[in-house]
Amino acid sequence: MERVQFSLIRAATTNTTGSSNTAIGPSALGAVTGGVFNTAIGSETLSSTLVSNSTAVGAGSIQFNQSGNYNTAVGAFAGSFWGEGSTASISANQLQTGENGVYIGYYARGSTFNQTNEIVIGANAVGGGSNTAVIGATSQVSATVYGLFNAPSGVCASGATFSGQVRVNGNLFANNIVNALNGFTGGVTLAAGTGITFTASSGTITLASTASGGSTNTTTQTLDFSSAIDHIEVEIVGGGDDFGTSLQYIENNTNIITFDTGSASAYTAVLDSIQSFYDVVSGAWAARIRLKPPFGNGTSTTAEGILGEAIIAVYIDSTSSGGANVSDFWTNITSQTLLHKQATQVVKTVTGQTWVTAGSYIECKVLGLTTADHTPEDAILEGVRFEIDNIVAGTGFDIIGHAPEGTYGKYSVKCLGQ
């Protein structure tokens, strides 16, 4: 039987003050004078000075590091040199001071002589610098990872090929991102089509829709079903300002009513009703007058617009049943109220919509919009719906509101169109 010899010659021959070291092989830990907690297996491993907390397995591994600690090397000459090419093993390229390094594989070496926290795996693999990890030499053509590949800090890839799904949870930054796409090779050209524009600025391409196709345009409008038929109720009290005319029997007269507001004088209206009553608060006779459209001679044509101006004087020209004529006016106005009347239809013309074309498709819905008169639920309960008519390209359209059971006041709708 052939005998196998193990060489323990000259292991740790100069370590005079160190402790807790293990050395197997000629000149292993050969020149270390004070290192601790080292393991050296193989000829001339960890054979320099003042190295601690390091492990070297393989002939010549971590051979020249003079002061770097916490290194691990596995493989012949692993962790002993730095750099690429034919000069990587000469004395000028000795790895002398790097710390916290991991070098696995024949001639696995650092990027320079003093890197920190550098991980290098692979025969003839060269590190990427401090705080980096390299797997494989430049001659490697592929690497296979089974299972999920996690890269919390990101992925930088040159010439990478992904045959399965690639999920990006954060931002994706890519140079030359497309070379082959669904069978098309040699690059992909992006061209703006109908309704799409490309804007390039500082290396960024912005895609945007244009109004001519594909984009959605919106406008919010308010329709008032009863604005044209709403009434005004105004109450006056006391004697007339001119002649002290009593209001006690005013409803027995044939009356013509005009009034002034803060913006206009001598408004006209149709008298719907007039009723006298005794006002216990003021201790005087009063009258409740209801007026209806059309309203004329003023700046507003609707009851809401007039009350926005505020009525400040009411004029009554009367002919009593006895034939006497009375003309007086009242500025003691105790209340003025808008009376909504039921309506089943309203039309509003919308202008200023330059995106509209002759073929535009437009829909108008309440979409959760609330007004002072209605909530969105009212539209459902009252069966209110809205349709589009009379589309004028570049200008606008008509909104027709339908309320089969009748409704009053304002609804707000959002119109969406292409």
For the residues 379-392, what does the mean pLDDT come to? 93
379 sits in which H/E element: helix 376-381
Collapsing DSSP to helix, strand or coil, 77 comes out as coil
Q: 131-140: long-range contacts at Cβ-Cβ below 8 A with a sequence spacing of 24 or more?
A: none
Task: Write out pLDDT tens, residues 7-19.
Answer: 444 555 556 667 8
Instruction: Enter the tokens of residue 4.
Output: 């196998």
What pLDDT is attached to residue 93? 87
Tell me the pLDDT band of 189, cut-offs 50, 70 and 90.
low
Average pLDDT over all residues of the chain: 83
φ, ψ for residue 306, nearest 5 deg: -65, -45
Task: Write out pLDDT tens, residues 107-155.
Answer: 999 988 888 999 999 999 999 899 999 998 888 887 777 777 676 666 6
Rounded Cα distance, 45 and 60, in Å: 5
- The domain limits of the chain are 1-171, 218-224+342-417, 231-339
270, pLDDT greater than 50: yes
5, pLDDT greater than 80: no
391 sits in which H/E element: strand 385-392
CA geometry: angle 367, 368, 370, nearest 5 deg: 120
77, pLDDT greater than 80: yes
User: In the chain, what is the straight-line distance between the N-terminal and C-terminal CA atoms, in Å?
Assistant: 93
Rounded Cα distance, 315 and 327, in Å: 7
Q: Percentage of residues in the chain with pLDDT exceeding 70? A: 78
Rounded Cα distance, 188 and 204, in Å: 16
What pLDDT is attached to residue 198? 63
For the residues 161-165, what does the mean pLDDT come to? 63
What pLDDT is attached to residue 85? 66
Check: CB of residue 286 under 8 Å from CB of residue 303: no
Positive or negative torsion for Cα 89, 92, 95, 98 = negative
Rounded Cα distance, 295 and 303, in Å: 8
Instruction: Enter the tokens of residue 154.
Output: 């990101």
70 closest CA partner among 111, 107, 118: 118
Tell me the pLDDT band of 49, cut-offs 50, 70 and 90.
low
Higher pLDDT, 258 or 167: 258
Q: 120-125: long-range contacts at Cβ-Cβ below 8 A with a sequence spacing of 24 or more?
A: 123/75
φ, ψ for residue 380, nearest 5 deg: -70, -45
For the residues 241-260, what does the mean pLDDT come to? 91
Task: Write out pLDDT tens, residues 193-244.
Answer: 555 666 777 667 776 655 444 568 999 999 999 888 999 999 999 999 999 9
What pLDDT is attached to residue 291? 96
Instruction: Enter the tokens of residue 124.
Output: 């003839």
Q: Which of 81-95, 307-321, 327-341 has the lowest mean pLDDT?
A: 81-95
Higher pLDDT, 78 or 195: 78
The answer, yes or no, to whether the previous bond of 376 is cis (omega within 30 of 0) is no
- Evaluate whether the domain defined by 1-171 bears CATH number 2.60.40: no
What pLDDT is attached to residue 70? 93
- Per the listing, tokens 């002290």 go with 244
Give the side-chain half-sphere CA count within 13 A for 277: 9
Task: Write out pLDDT tens, residues 271-318.
Answer: 999 999 999 999 999 999 999 999 999 999 999 999 999 999 999 998
Check: CB of residue 34 under 8 Å from CB of residue 18: yes
